[in-house]
Every structure is written in C-alpha cells, then in structure tokens.
Amino acid sequence: MSRQMGDSHRRFLQTMMANGIIDEQGAKSLYHHCCETHNTQHAPDKLDDFIETINSKLQPLFMQIRKGMSEDNGHQYYALVIMAETEVTRMSLDYADNELELFRKTMDLIVGSENGKASSTDILNISDTLTTKKLKKSETEHLLNRLVHDKWLNEKRGEYTFSTRCIMEMEPYIRTVYQDQVKVCHICHNVAFQCQMCENPLCGIKIHNPCVARYFKGRTEPRCPACDDFWPHEIPEVRQPHSQSRR
C-alpha cells in the first residue's frame, strides 16, 4: 500500500489529535468517513495499513498512533501517543509542576498496590507531601476530575486506576521507572495492573482479567499456563464491545 499521506489521512490524524483515544469500532467508522469525505478508496480490512501510513510521517516527530487493549474490558483502542521514556511529556503541556508531581505519586500508589488501584483517600493524603507546591483538598479533587476527564485515569467508587490511554502512552515510562515492580501479562505480554495472579509462589505470573476470560473460556478445569497449577480465581466472562466502553 502507498505510504503517501492524503487528505483522508490528515482528517483521521486531526480527529485523533482532538480525541486522544478512540475505540476500535470508532476508528473503523472514522476511517470510512475520512475515505468517503475525500473520495479515496476504502478497504475495511486495511485500517492498520492506513494508520501505518500516518505513523510513517509521525515517526520523525516521535509520535505514533498505537493500538492497545483496555484492562477493564479487553476491547481494542487506538491512541495518539508521544514516544518518550523518561518524562511525562505530553502532560507537561497541560498540567502545572505540582499537578504532575501528584500524578506521579498517584502512579506510585497504583503500581505499588496489589490490585492496581489507588483510593481517593490515599491520594488526598499524599497531596500534603508534595515538594513543589502543596495542593488543597479541593484542588486535589479538581485535579483528579481533570485527570479522569482527560482520560489519564479511570475512577469507580472512589478508586482510581490507569486508563487505557495512560497505559498506552506511559508504558515505556512505566517499564523504565518501575522496572522491578511491574509484571507483564503472560498472555498478551503488556504491562498488567488489573489482573489475576498465579498463587504458586514459585510461579506468580499475572494475566489481565480480559485475557483470563478469553484464555480459560470453555476449559473445564482452568490451570496456570506457566506452571499447570489449578487456577483458583473466578473466571470472568468475555465482554462484548460497545460504543461507550471505559477507556
């Protein structure tokens, strides 16, 4: 396929820049719309090739449209990411230094937890430990709302987790900064926070909940794919994609 950028590619990229992240069905619909609008050929099974053409032009800018999975539901998403390993690069354009420090401390809490979550109470408590400029309780609550709105965090019943967009954007940073704390999913090999863990102390592999659902589907006796011990956790059901999936 030609790597020549056309107006359909530019329209697709502009929409990705405005949204940051869209689910797979949304990306397919956008691809069709861009091709139809600019009267270019639309091949339904060539979305990834279409995106690769865009990525070939983004590479010198250290940017990429990357495909990844939601830990929450297992659905596929596309996100426009900045490829940087050492800094929370994109966020520095939108957040003050003390807000970035609180986000990093929130990342510490999530990575260091057993369930990949940080409570609002714990986050409010660490706002008093900032070395830049301390945040008031109301300012911290407002910041958390912004981080959820901007699709860096997800919130459910007062607990915060990494959003799909955050993991896709920050994975190189997370792997570098938390290399001794982070494990990858045994099935998909991406970093795993929302997951189940083998209880064999000599094994201890992690598997994303959606990967667990797919891997063990239809198996009468679930066994660890690494050590063959019985898998004692409840096997979740495979969740079907829908338009309002969590990100």
In this prediction, residue 1 carries a pLDDT of 44
CA contacts within 13 A on the Cβ side of 206: 17
In this prediction, residue 24 carries a pLDDT of 95
Check if the beta carbon of residue 175 is closer than 8 Å to that of residue 169: no
**Greater pLDDT, 180 or 37:** 37
Q: What is the pLDDT of residues 103-145, one digit of tens each?
A: 999 999 999 998 899 999 999 999 888 998 889 999 999 999 9
The CA distance from 93 to 86, in Å, is: 15
3.30.1490.20, 3.30.360.10, 1.25.60.10, 1.10.10.10: which CATH number matches 90-177? 1.10.10.10
What global pTM score does this model have?
0.80
CATH code of the domain occupying 7-82: 3.90.1150.220
**SS3 label, residue 201:** coil
In this prediction, residue 220 carries a pLDDT of 85
DSSP bridge pairs for 20 = none
CATH code of the domain occupying 183-234: 3.30.40.10
DSSP bridge pairs for 184 = 191
Percentage with pLDDT > 90 across the chain:
66
**Taking all residues of the chain, what is their mean pLDDT, rounded to a whole number?**
89
**Greater pLDDT, 209 or 82:** 209
The CA distance from 172 to 64, in Å, is: 13
191-205 per-residue burial string, b: 16 or more CB within 10 A, e: under 16: bbbbbbbbeeeeeeb
pLDDT of 46 over the 90 cut: yes
Parts of the chain belonging to CATH 1.10.10.10: 90-177
Q: What is the pLDDT of residues 158-167, one digit of tens each?
A: 999 999 989 9
Parts of the chain belonging to CATH 3.30.40.10: 183-234
Assigned token pair, 129 = 């430990």
In this prediction, residue 240 carries a pLDDT of 66
Largest CA distance in the chain: 58
Q: What is the pLDDT of residues 7-28, one digit of tens each?
A: 999 999 999 999 989 999 999 9
Parts of the chain belonging to CATH 3.90.1150.220: 7-82
